[in-house]
Every structure is written in C-alpha cells, then in structure tokens.
Amino acid sequence: MTTEKLIEERKRIGTWGQLNPARLDVIRNYAFPKTLDAGCSTGEYVRWMLSQGYDAYGYDLLQSESWESEAMDRFSTGDLQKTHFKDEEFDTVISFEVLEHVDDVGKVLSELKRITRKNVILSVPDAELYPIFKDSGLTFHHWVDRTHQHFFSAKDLRRILHEHGFETQFLGRINPVYPEVMLCENLRIPSVVSKVLKRILWALPFRKKYFMTLIVVASKRHS
C-alpha cells in the first residue's frame, strides 16, 4: 500500500485515531502498564493512556502533526512488519483498525508477538456477511475503504491469531449499526426524533443487533 493512498483515505474518512469508549473499556480491563499503540495515527490513545498512568508509546507508518503538541519522545515511525523495538519490550501492544491495511498480516502478527511480553488488543472491521444486508442492498462502511486489503470474520481472526502464537482471551463486537436512522431519513423524520427513536429501539430486548467492529484480546503463547 502506498503512503499517498493511506493519507488520502485518512482525510476522506476523517475518524482514524479518535478515542472510542468501547475500546477504552477493553484497555482498562486488559492492558498492562507498558503499552505500545501500533498504528497510533494521531496518538490520542497514547495521550489518554499517559493521563491514566500507563507507560504508553505510539508507533505508526506516518508521522502526525498532533504528536508535536506533547510527549514527542513517545512516538516513532516505521514499518510494522519490522520495528526497532527490543524483544518483549512492552507488556501489551494495542493495534486498532490496522491489520486490514497491512501488506502481510502474518509478518505483522509475528512482530507483535516478538515485541510484546503478555498480550495484544486488536480491533478490525467485522467482515461477516449477513444475508439481510444483501437483501437490503446495504453494506458496512468499511467495505468501501480503498485501503483495506484483508477482511476478517470472528472465526478468521481467532484462527490467524492462534497460527501466530496467540490464544484468544476475549472476543467481542463494538460500534453498533442503527438502520432506523436511515429509515427516519427516508421518511423525512426530524433528526431529533430519530435520535430518540434510535435509543428506544436499541433498548428493545428482542431486537437483533449488528456491530461493525471486532475487538479481541489475545495472550502471547510462550513455547
């Protein structure tokens, strides 16, 4: 993947690197003190972890202007397939929305295993194909991201982690989908009403819920 294409897509989508409450919860529950954010983008997770007392660092293919605002020595750039870090330098490595972009997933996971001592926390778009989406003529937003080279179902993610020396501790889904928002837009219902309707419908116990993202915690398997 060219860096030019990556820059273009980051600008087009505009949400890369932003804090996500569901991911923060997983970090709180599973990340150990010295943590690397591999593919840190703007560095928001690094700054948040520093504010929470973590010994946090960031690493990305591209440097972000926001790194210069503070803690610049916490950030570095390079290829995630071969980093400059020492063996088991970090307790935890987090990597959010990264694996789908890299050229070689296996090489990246092998490198993450080398530099982490305890575990990894990863998130990727959920590539599960639901028949209702086909019938409705809809798709998840991540299917149109032109920098995605790999697509993972939950089964795929567990398998590839196991193949590269990790055991899954936790796998869940985050980032809910709200089809009723589109319905309200179609019916020209005011946005303030659609927001209330969205909350009501989401709370219904019998509603089938869909999520866009898989998040996994996997411990390093020591031989």
- How confident is the model over 141-173, as pLDDT tens digits? 666 566 777 888 999 999 999 999 999 999 999
Model pLDDT, residue 55: 97
Domain count of the fold of the chain: 1
Range of the domain at 52: 3-176+212-220
Provide the angle, in degrees to the nearest 10, between the axes of the packed helices 191-203 and 179-186.
140
pTM (two decimals): 0.83
| In a domain? residue 92 | yes
178-197 mean pLDDT: 77
Tell me how far the alpha carbon of residue 83 is from its chain's centroid.
Answer: 20
Beta strand pairing call for 116-125 and 211-220: antiparallel
| Segment (H or E) for 13 | helix 3-13
Residue among 209, 104, 131 at smallest CA distance from 198: 209
The model's pLDDT over 9-26, given as tens digits with 9 standing for 90+, comes to 555 454 555 789 999 999
Tokens of 174: 């985050």
| In a domain? residue 190 | no
The model's pLDDT over 23-43, given as tens digits with 9 standing for 90+, comes to 999 999 999 999 999 999 889
Residue among 123, 122, 101 at smallest CA distance from 113: 122
92-112 mean pLDDT: 94
Tokens of 14: 């505009």
| In a domain? residue 191 | no
| In a domain? residue 189 | no
| In a domain? residue 153 | yes
Residue among 158, 162, 152 at smallest CA distance from 212: 152
| In a domain? residue 186 | no
| In a domain? residue 43 | yes
Percentage helix, strand, coil for the chain under 3-state DSSP, each rounded to 5 = 40, 25, 35
- CATH number of the CATH domain containing 10: 3.40.50.150
Distances (CA, A) of 108 to 58, 177, 201: 16, 29, 40
The model's pLDDT over 106-144, given as tens digits with 9 standing for 90+, comes to 999 999 999 999 999 999 998 887 777 777 666 666 665
In angstroms, the CA 35 to CA 125 distance is: 22
Higher pLDDT, 20 or 185: 20
| In a domain? residue 81 | yes
In angstroms, the CA 102 to CA 107 distance is: 9
Beta strand pairing call for 116-125 and 90-96: parallel
